[in-house]
């Protein structure tokens, strides 16, 4: 925890459950006309009108998904929102509301929890969503935060994982592997600090990968860019568990195979540098690292010219018949079967 031992803090027990909820949510204005009633009643009220409503939820658990040794509470709150909004954008929808549920042990003060809500509030502002409810409870084993995100879209605009078809082009936004390498860097510096607390973390020059891990952003711009280009994806998913896993999800839901080209996978130069330092293969990191929160989608072959050359997108493969399976084609044109952990043979010789 990042609280200073000599500071004055307010025990959560002094407020009670409802006092805590009121304290944490009093500065969350409603921004969307569809948000009729937010925090303060038995349930939130949302007016759906003629839109399709999409809902997703995700939980982050201390010791499993984050470590307060190097994760600031504000960043945790922000990231917890973003990982859910990313799922909404992956449906080609616009997020409008969130609910927040929190389980905390008595080692946390009100001020520490307020910092988490500062991050949540910042994300609500950036992505223009409303906090409309949630829950708090006690925990015997650290902190857990669960966020449910709600979004809307016209029925004609919704994109599922199940629409990919043979000869579609496989496209990804941004670059991959940065979040995983940011985590490796933080874990290494934590280990060094624990062995010698006179050693200061060596993080300078690695801001990009650290941000990708600690304060990722959802690609809210991608649906807007695609709409402006006149392109609707045939299938789409966000990259939370690694490129390999997400490709397999698309293949299973769409009943297709996929051909992924290793030399097309977009990697930031900082990731190349850190992979050499950690003796890791960039392809391994991109396929299995996860937490990049980029969008992976397929488009009709006839739409390829519309996105070709756009700096936001990279074509990394194409859809093939289901009988061919999902395969990575290496730089020397060898086919390796993709698995949820990456693939069957680990590539070490080439970064």
Indicate if 45 and 186 belong to the same structural domain.
no
Say whether pLDDT at 294 is over 70: yes
The yes-or-no verdict on residue 344 having pLDDT over 80 is: no
Task: Tally Cβ neighbours within 10 Å of residue 111.
Answer: 14
163 in any annotated domain: no
The pLDDT tens digits for 299-321 are 999 999 999 999 999 999 999 99
Residue 281 in contact with residue 346, Cβ under 8 Å? Answer: yes
Residue appearing with tokens 């803090």? 9
Between residues 292 and 4, the one the model is more confident about: 292
Q: What is the pLDDT of residue 26?
A: 87
Average pLDDT estimate for 7-27: 81
Q: Do the beta carbons of residue 109 and residue 11 sit within 8 Å?
A: yes
Query: pLDDT at position 42, please?
Result: 59
Cβ neighbors of 66 (< 8 A, separation 6 or more) are: 60, 76, 79
Query: For position 350, what pLDDT does the model report?
Result: 42
> Which has the higher per-residue pLDDT, 184 or 341?
184
Statement to judge: residues 194 and 81 lie in one domain: no
Predicted confidence at residue 215, as pLDDT, reads: 97
**Which residues, in sequence order, are bridge partners of residue 260?**
317, 328
Q: Is residue 5's pLDDT more than 80?
A: no
For residue 125, count other CB atoms closer than 10 A to its CB. 12
What does the block give as tokens for 169? 């082009």
Of 100-109, 196-205, 224-233, least confident by mean pLDDT is: 196-205
CB 233 within 8 A of CB 248: no
Give the 3-state DSSP-derived string for the chain, with helices as H, strands as E and coil as C: CCCCCCCCCCEHHHCHHHHHHHHHHCCCCCCCCCEEECECECCCEECCCCCEEEEEEEEEEECCCECCCCCCHHHHHHHHHHHHHHHHHCCCCEEEEEEEEEEECCCCEHHHHHHHHHHHHHHHHHHCCEEEEEEEEECCCCCEEEEEEEEEECHHHCCCCCCCCCCCEEEEECCCCHHHHHHHHHHHHHHHHHHCCCCCCCCCCCHHHHHHHHCCCCCCHHHHHHHHHCCCCCEEEECCCCHHHHHHHHHHHHCCEEEEEHHHCCCCHHHHHHHHHHCCCHHHHHHHCCCCCCEEEEECHHHHHHHCCCCCEEEEEEEECHHHCEEEECCCCCEEEEECCEECCCCCCCC
Average pLDDT of span 310-333: 97
Q: Is the pLDDT of residue 1 over 80?
A: no
Quote the pLDDT of residue 44.
64
Residue-averaged pLDDT of the chain: 91
Q: Does residue 18 have a pLDDT over 70? A: no
Stretch 181-201: mean pLDDT, rounded? Answer: 88
**Of residues 328, 330, 160, the one with CA closest to residue 252:** 160
33 and 117 both lie in a single domain: yes
The domain that contains 210 carries what CATH number? 3.90.650.10
Q: What is the pTM of this model?
A: 0.88
Q: Does the residue 312 lie in any domain?
A: yes
Kindly state whether residues 180 and 145 are assigned to the same domain. no
Q: Which of 157, 180, 199 is at the close of a domain?
A: 157
- C-alpha 223/C-alpha 218 separation (Å) is 11
Taken in order 66, 71, 76, 82, is the CA torsion positive or negative? negative
Q: Using CA atoms, how far apart are residues 257 and 248, in angstroms rounded to an integer?
A: 8
Residues 44, 77, single domain; the answer is yes
Q: Has residue 79 been placed in a domain?
A: yes
Question: What values do phi and psi take at 73, rounded to 5?
Answer: -60, -35
Range in 193-207, 256-270, 337-351 the model is least confident about = 337-351
pLDDT at 343 exceeding the cut of 60: no
In a shared domain, residues 129 and 189: no
Asked if 233 and 336 sit in the same domain, the reply is: yes
- Per cent of the chain over pLDDT 70 is 93
Q: What is the mean pLDDT of residues 52-68?
A: 92
Together in a domain, 147 and 120 = yes
Pick the last residue of a domain from 134, 157, 180: 157
Domain count, the chain: 2
Residues 44-64 have a mean pLDDT of: 86
Q: Which domain holds residue 222?
A: 169-343
Instruction: Select from 109, 127, 157 the last residue of a domain.
Output: 157
Length of the chain: 351
The answer to whether residues 192 and 222 belong to one domain is yes
Within this chain, do residues 88 and 182 fall inside the same structural domain, yes or no? no
Mean per-residue pLDDT, 264-278: 97
CA-based angle 192:194:195, to the nearest 5?
65
* Co-location of 149 and 242 in the same domain: no
Is 195 within the bounds of a domain?
A: yes
124 in any annotated domain: yes
Place of tokens 């616009």: 94
In this prediction, residue 33 has a pLDDT band, given cuts at 50, 70 and 90, of confident
Same domain, 196 and 322: yes
Residue 44: inside a domain: yes
Q: What is the mean pLDDT of residues 125-145?
A: 94
Domain annotation covers residue 7: no
Give the least confident one: 13-17, 42-46, 212-216, 242-246: 42-46
């Amino acid at each position: 925890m990042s609280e200073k031992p000599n500071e004055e803090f307010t025990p959560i027990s002094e407020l009670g459950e409802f006092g805590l909820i009121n304290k944490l949510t009093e500065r969350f204005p409603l921004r969307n006309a569809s948000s009729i009633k937010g925090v303060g009643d038995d349930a939130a009220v949302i007016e759906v009108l003629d839109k399709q409503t999409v809902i997703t939820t995700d939980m982050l658990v201390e010791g499993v998904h984050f470590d307060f040794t190097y994760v600031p509470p504000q960043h945790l709150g922000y990231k917890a929102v973003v990982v859910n909004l990313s799922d909404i954008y992956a449906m080609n929808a616009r997020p409008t509301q969130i609910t927040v549920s929190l389980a905390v042990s008595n080692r946390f003060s009100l001020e520490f929890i307020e910092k988490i809500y500062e991050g949540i509030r910042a994300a609500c502002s950036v992505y223009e969503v409303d906090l409309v409810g949630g829950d708090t409870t006690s925990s015997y084993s650290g902190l857990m935060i669960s966020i449910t995100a709600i979004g809307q879209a016209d029925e004609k605009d919704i994109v599922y994982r199940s629409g990919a078809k043979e000869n579609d082009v496989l496209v990804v936004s941004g670059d991959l592997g940065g979040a995983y390498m940011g985590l490796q860097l933080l874990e290494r510096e934590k280990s060094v600090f624990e062995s010698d607390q006179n050693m200061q973390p060596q993080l300078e020059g690695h801001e990009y990968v650290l941000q990708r891990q600690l304060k990722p952003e959802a690609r809210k711009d991608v649906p807007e860019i695609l709409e402006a280009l006149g392109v609707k994806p045939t299938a789409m998913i966000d990259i939370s568990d690694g490129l390999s896993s997400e490709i397999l999800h698309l293949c299973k839901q769409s009943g297709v195979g996929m051909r992924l080209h290793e030399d097309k996978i977009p990697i930031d130069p900082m990731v190349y540098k850190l992979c050499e330092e950690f003796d890791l293969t960039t392809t391994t990191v991109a396929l299995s690292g996860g937490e990049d929160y980029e969008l992976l989608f397929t488009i009709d072959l006839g739409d390829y010219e519309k996105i070709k050359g756009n700096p936001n997108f990279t074509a990394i493969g194409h859809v093939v018949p289901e009988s061919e399976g999902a395969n990575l084609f290496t730089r020397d044109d060898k086919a390796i079967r993709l698995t949820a952990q990456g693939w069957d043979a680990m590539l070490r010789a080439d970064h």
